[in-house]
C-alpha cells in the first residue's frame, strides 16, 4: 500500500492532491509540527535520510523530494496520466513548469525570506528580492497566456506550481492583488473536487490560500 506521510502545512500536500486526482488508493499518515520550532517531529525526520517533507513509503521503498515522488506515482500507479509526452506541442512548457516550482521559484522565495530575516546587506536583500519578483512576474505572464501551466490541460506541472502560490504563503506572505491572472487561476483551481478533497484531508480546518 502506498503511504503518504503528510507533515502539516507542507509540500506533502502536493502528494495527497496527486493521489486524489489520479484516484490512487493510499494511506494518509499525519504528523504535526513542533509547536515551538515549527519543524518536523523526530519520527518524521526518521522516515528518510534528508528528513524533510514530503516522504512516501511503498513496500520497502522510502522516497523523498516532491518532484521525484510525483514522477514515481504517475509512472507506477497513474499510467502516465496528467503529463505530456515528447512530441506533444505542450511538452516543453509542461517540463519547464513541472521543474520550475522547486528548481527556481521555491529557492527564490526561500532565499528572499531568509535574507529578509537575517541579512543586513542591502545588496544581498536586493538580489534576493529581484529573483523572487522575476519568478512571480513570469508566473503571472504565463497564466495570462494559458489556462493551466502546460496549456489547455491540467497536469502535474500545476500540482507542483500551486504550492508556492498558496501554502507557501503561510511562511512567506504575498499580496496577490497585483496578480489578476494568478488570482483567476487559483479561482479555477478552487473548483476542482480533487484539490478541495485533498486539502480537507491533508490540513483539515486550515483556510485555503486561493486569493
pLDDT in tens, the chain (211 residues): 899 999 999 999 999 999 999 999 999 999 988 888 878 888 999 999 888 899 999 999 999 999 999 999 999 999 999 999 999 999 999 999 999 999 999 999 998 888 777 766 777 777 778 989 999 999 999 999 999 999 999 999 999 999 999 999 998 999 999 999 999 999 999 999 999 999 999 999 888 888 8
* Placement of cell 529557492 in the chain: 107
User: Model pTM?
Assistant: 0.93
Q: Which of 147, 149, 63, 56 is nearest to 100 (CA)?
A: 149
C-alpha cell at 40: 518536523
Q: Supply angle C-alpha 207, 208, 211, rounded to 5.
A: 115
* Strand, helix or coil for residue 81: coil
Residue carrying C-alpha cell 488508493: 25
pLDDT recorded at residue 119: 64
How does strand 61-64 pair with strand 2-7?
A: unpaired
H or E stretch covering 166: none
Beta bridge partners of 28: 4
* Rounded (5°) CA angle 40-205-100: 55
Q: Which domains does the chain have, with CATH numbers?
A: 2-82+196-202 (3.40.30.10), 91-191 (1.20.1050.10)
3-state SS class at 60: coil
Q: Is 61 helix (H, G, I), strand (E, B) or coil?
A: strand
Give CB contacts under 8 A, 24+ apart, made by 78-84.
78/22, 78/24, 81/22, 82/18, 82/21, 82/22, 82/154, 82/155, 82/156, 82/159, 83/155, 83/156, 84/150, 84/153, 84/155
Element (H, E) at 31: strand 27-31
C-alpha cell at 30: 499525519
- Burial status of residue 197 (CB atoms within 10 A of its CB: 0-12, 13-18, 19 or more): middle
Amino acid at each position: 500500500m502506498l503511504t503518504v506521510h503528510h507533515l502539516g502545512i507542507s509540500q506533502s500536500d502536493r502528494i495527497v492532491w496527486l493521489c486524489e486526482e489520479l484516484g490512487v488508493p493510499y494511506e494518509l499518515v499525519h504528523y504535526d509540527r513542533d509547536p515551538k520550532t515549527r519543524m518536523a517531529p523526530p519520527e518524521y525526520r526518521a522516515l528518510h535520510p534528508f528528513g524533510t517533507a514530503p516522504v512516501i513509503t511503498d513496500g520497502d521503498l522510502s522516497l523523498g523530494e516532491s518532484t521525484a515522488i510525483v514522477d514515481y506515482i504517475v509512472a507506477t500507479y497513474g499510467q502516465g496520466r496528467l503529463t505530456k509526452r515528447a512530441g506533444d506541442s505542450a511538452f516543453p512548457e509542461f517540463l519547464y513548469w513541472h521543474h520550475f516550482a522547486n528548481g527556481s521559484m521555491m529557492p527564490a522565495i526561500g532565499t528572499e525570506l531568509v535574507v529578509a530575516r537575517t541579512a543586513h546587506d542591502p545588496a544581498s536583500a536586493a538580489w534576493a528580492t529581484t529573483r523572487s519578483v522575476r519568478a512571480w512576474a513570469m508566473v503571472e505572464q504565463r497564466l495570462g497566456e494559458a489556462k493551466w501551466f502546460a496549456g489547455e490541460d491540467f497536469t502535474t506541472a500545476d500540482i507542483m506550481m500551486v504550492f508556492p502560490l498558496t501554502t507557501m504563503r503561510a511562511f512567506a506572505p504575498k499580496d496577490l492583488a497585483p496578480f489578476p491572472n494568478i488570482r483567476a487561476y487559483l479561482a479555477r483551481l478552487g473548483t476542482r473536487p480533487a484539490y478541495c478533497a485533498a486539502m480537507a484531508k491533508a490540513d483539515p480546518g486550515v483556510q485555503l490560500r486561493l486569493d
